[in-house]
Chain A
Amino acid sequence: MIEIKNISKWYGSFQVLTDCSTTIKQGEVVVVCGPSGSGKSTLIKTVNALEPIQKGDITIDGVSITHPNTNLPKLRSRVGMVFQHFELFPHLSVKDNLTLAQIKVLGRDKNDAMARGLKMLDRVGLSAHKDKFPGQLSGGQQQRVAIARALSMDPIVMLFDEPTSALDPEMVGEVLDVMVNLAQEGMTMMVVTHEMGFAKKVSNRVIFMDAGKIIEDCSKSEFFGNPDARSPRAQDFLSKILQH
């Protein structure tokens, strides 16, 4: 589904990603973790070309994101993305947030878009809030609407960029529940997160990054079950994050 092939990225002379490669198969849930500044958020943003790469290539469903003939907006419309800070459109109601891209990008009929959007809103349990504006919702609710907005586009894969990092602790659960549900239904997911509980529960694979490099890329059971085989950097990270 997603093939990341030897990508490197620089901000000026500073290299943020170094020769990263991995593959995400259909139906797979891959968690990307690592200390802050390790490049995991940058990596996930390169997947749908929100951040350009200077070397290597990424293909989504066989379509290269670096090929000059690729219609990037069209490719991105098939990839759902959820951001750390939700990024709902604050000037639009929840309903309009859900339908805007369906109508303007996919060319769906208004009624069809609304039906699809409301179905997804129901799925994240927020039907009652369809007429509100993002500013009237809690962080957890906003993030669930953001997930519904992405799902309304019928994506072939979902990218989550630290979806719970900006939330108050009591709201993390409601967002993770939606994500777990999604994973169990077979959605292909790439998730940057520190929520190791989520990784243990539903992921197939865990990628560990440090200093712009992919250090570990192994199955969940290998990653959590066989700590002695991990690199010192990953062991250190795991011991800190799993301490509590």
Chain B
Amino acid sequence: MNLDFSFLDTSVLSSYILKGFVFSIQLTLIAMVGGIVLGTILALMRLSGKPWLVVPAAAYVNTMRSIPLVMVILWFFLLIPLLLGKPMGAELSAMITFTLFEAAYYSEIMRAGIQSVPKGQVFAGYAVGMTYSQTMQLVVLPQAFRNMLPVLLTQTIILFQDTSLVYAIGAYDMLKGFEVAGKNFNRPVETYLVAAAVYFVICFSLSMVVKRLQAKIAIIR
């Protein structure tokens, strides 16, 4: 097999890849932040002990976790125009879908995190006169978040890999950039190889960061 990477110069990278790369990162960050916020709310609902909060949150999480992501991406993209009466861009649709989907996974992580904080801490918050929401915000969630930081980041690495699934609705992400470049220069094997290498480098270095964090957090405890 004859591999030739010479066409991949900076102008190709900037005109084909950069745009997709930026979108992949954007999508990851938005889905991470939105997913953690929404996931934390879902986790608090599930731990509230109030059936009218527990049941819908549990139903939402279990549903999202039982459907393949690519189907959620497709459905949302196809159904929303029917509901809104006008089409929604693939990029915006992807951002909303990923946030909603990842929230289910982040919520399970935050639920474990909240439960990892000893009950005595909740008592201590109440005892100094804090309300439920103050106790959560100021005492429990900061500790839950810190304890779960490595797991949250690991989920984010998976999320970053999953962003490539937006090919299903034709959004222009990093993989799409490589794919288009490969087609235009008739070098699909090379571009897919480079794409794999880029995903690997990003994900592997992030997982190294996670490892370091884990050691650090273990020391703090």
Contacts of B220 in A (CB 8 A): 135
Partner of B127 from A50, A100, A104, A135 at Cβ < 8 Å: A50
Partner of B138 from A74, A78, A100, A135 at Cβ < 8 Å: A100
Q: Once the chains are docked, how many angstroms separate the CA of A74 from the CA of B127?
A: 10
Q: Once the chains are docked, how many angstroms separate the CA of A153 from the CA of B124?
A: 13
Task: Assess the A76–B127 pair: CB atoms within 8 A.
Answer: yes
Q: Once the chains are docked, how many angstroms separate the CA of A77 from the CA of B146?
A: 27
Interface size class of B (residues with CB under 8 A): 10 to 19
Please provide the chain A residues from 66 to 81 with a CB less than 8 Å away from any CB of chain B in the complex.
Answer: 73-74, 76-81
Cross-chain pair count, CB within 8 angstroms: 66
Which of A83-91, A196-204, A207-215, A236-244 contacts the other chain? Answer: A83-91
Q: Once the chains are docked, how many angstroms separate the CA of A78 from the CA of B127?
A: 9
Q: Once the chains are docked, how many angstroms separate the CA of A195 from the CA of B75?
A: 67
Contacts of A78 in B (CB 8 A): 129
- Does B62 lie at the interface of the complex (its beta carbon under 8 Å from any beta carbon of A)? no
Interface string of B119-144 (1 = CB under 8 A from A): 01101101111110010001100110
Contacts of B139 in A (CB 8 A): 89
Contacts of B134 in A (CB 8 A): 73, 104-105
Please provide the chain B residues from 177 to 221 with a CB less than 8 Å away from any CB of chain A in the complex.
Answer: 220-221
- Does A101 lie at the interface of the complex (its beta carbon under 8 Å from any beta carbon of B)? yes
Also in contact, A83 and B128, with CB within 8 A (given A91-B143, A104-B138): no
Q: How many residues of A contact B (CB 8 A)?
A: 27
Task: Assess the B130–A87 pair: CB atoms within 8 A.
Answer: no
Residue in B123, B142, B221 whose Cβ sees the most chain A Cβ within 10 Å: B123
Task: Assess the A153–B123 pair: CB atoms within 8 A.
Answer: no
Interface string of A81-112 (1 = CB under 8 A from B): 10101011111000000001100111000000
Cβ of B119 to closest chain A Cβ, rounded Å? 10
Cβ of B129 to closest chain A Cβ, rounded Å? 3
Cβ of B188 to closest chain A Cβ, rounded Å? 50
Partner of B129 from A74, A83, A88 at Cβ < 8 Å: A74
Interface string of A9-23 (1 = CB under 8 A from B): 000000000000000
Task: Assess the B128–A101 pair: CB atoms within 8 A.
Answer: yes
Also in contact, A89 and B129, with CB within 8 A (given A104-B134, A104-B138, A135-B220): no
Also in contact, A76 and B123, with CB within 8 A (given A91-B143, A100-B138): no
Q: 8 more A-B contacts (CB under 8 A) besides A77-B129, A81-B123, A105-B128? A: A45-B123, A73-B134, A79-B127, A80-B127, A81-B127, A88-B124, A91-B142, A105-B129
Residues of A within 8 A of B (CB): 45, 48, 50, 73-74, 76-81, 83, 85, 87-91, 100-101, 104-106, 135, 149-150, 153
Can you list 28 pairs linking A and B with CB atoms under 8 Å apart? A45-B123, A48-B126, A50-B123, A50-B126, A73-B129, A73-B130, A73-B134, A76-B127, A76-B129, A77-B129, A81-B124, A81-B127, A87-B121, A87-B124, A88-B124, A89-B121, A89-B124, A89-B139, A90-B143, A101-B130, A104-B130, A105-B130, A106-B129, A135-B221, A149-B128, A150-B127, A150-B128, A153-B129
